Structure 1
Amino acid sequence: APARDTQAGYISWGHSIVTDPWGQVMKQLDEKEGILIEEINLDREDQIREQLPLLKHRKCEMYHL
């Protein structure tokens, strides 16, 4: 998020978060400046992503980087 400036036209909300692929919040910061470090279990991430139907129906051959 951009730096929080309460005098600006847009005030950054902050609240950076770490979520799992289902969107469950694992850790969250408030609106104050901070650093968020979280260890991610990549095996668990892979298991959850295998359950996401959206990923099974992607047509990767249609996307080129």
Structure 2
Amino acid sequence: MFDHSYFESLETTIYEKAIKRTRNSTHSILNKSNSFVDFITVYTNGTHNNIRMTVHILCT
């Protein structure tokens, strides 16, 4: 049996780091789909990183 709380906390950490990085970027895009985080595109120093997550955290 999986410990779902571990994965939920890991997803939260990834989400928070991605949001922080996005906010600190010169150009940032945060797309929301069905009130859930779907895709975060981060542009930093001329590079562009896609972080695809299947997190179950509501955007409030």
TM score, norm. by length of structure 1: 0.22
Q: Which has the larger radius of gyration?
A: 1
Q: More strand per residue: 1 or 2?
A: 2
Structure scoring higher RCO (CA < 8 A, sep ≥ 6) equals 2
Q: More helix per residue: 1 or 2?
A: 2
TM score, norm. by length of structure 2: 0.23
